[in-house]
Amino acid sequence: GKSATKMAQSIGLTPQMIDGRRITDKPMLDVVVMIYAGEINKNIIAQLQANNTNAMGFSGADGNLIQSTKRNHPTIDYGFVGDVQKVNTSLLETLINIGIVPVFCAITHDKNGQLLNTNADTIASELAIALSKVFEVTLNYCFEK
């Protein structure tokens, strides 16, 4: 989140938060996609590869891996924020079974062409729940410094 906020401010956007939740209008969505799916995800992949871990970076839109719906809140318009509805475990099983470690960013999609900013902790827990039906799952959190 801090990297997206810093980038947004550097291009003249004023990030908005309500109770720790980012309001994601279209310009902010562009920033979070660039930072989360691009810079952060690819840096994590590079570090894993440097440590002999074969990994690939994904957003929820890639391979239709994670579908979400746009958050519908009775009093707050969060903008392009998603709530996870479905995880494509069959593709994940294939990747894992051939030795690829999938690394996800906090971007999902609605199956209608719209990317959505989605809480990273929620994505991690939904992936863990879905994959625990097939694999033994260990959930590790990495926090920003």
Instruction: Please check whether residue 145 lies inside any domain of the structure.
Output: no
Tell me the average pLDDT of the chain: 94
Domain, as residue range, for 29: 2-131
Q: How many domains does the chain have?
A: 1
**Per-residue pLDDT reduced to its tens digit, 88-110:** 999 999 999 999 999 999 999 99
For 5, residues 6+ apart whose C-beta sits below 8 A from its C-beta are 15
Instruction: Please check whether residue 40 lies inside any domain of the structure.
Output: yes
CATH (domain of 70): 3.40.1160.10
d(CA 15, CA 42): 23
* pTM listed for this prediction: 0.91
Instruction: Please check whether residue 141 lies inside any domain of the structure.
Output: no
- Say what the pLDDT of residue 27 is: 98
Mean pLDDT within 19-33: 94
With a cut of 80, say whether residue 133 has pLDDT above it: yes
What confidence tier does 145 reach under pLDDT thresholds 50, 70, 90? Answer: low
What confidence tier does 144 reach under pLDDT thresholds 50, 70, 90? Answer: low
Instruction: Please check whether residue 109 lies inside any domain of the structure.
Output: yes
Instruction: Please check whether residue 44 lies inside any domain of the structure.
Output: yes
What confidence tier does 35 reach under pLDDT thresholds 50, 70, 90? Answer: very high
**Per-residue pLDDT reduced to its tens digit, 58-81:** 999 999 999 999 999 999 999 999
Q: Which backbone phi and psi does 106 adopt, to 5 degrees?
A: -90, 35
Instruction: Please check whether residue 30 lies inside any domain of the structure.
Output: yes
Instruction: Please check whether residue 19 lies inside any domain of the structure.
Output: yes
Helix axes 120-131 and 89-97, enclosed angle (nearest 10)? 80
Instruction: Please check whether residue 143 lies inside any domain of the structure.
Output: no
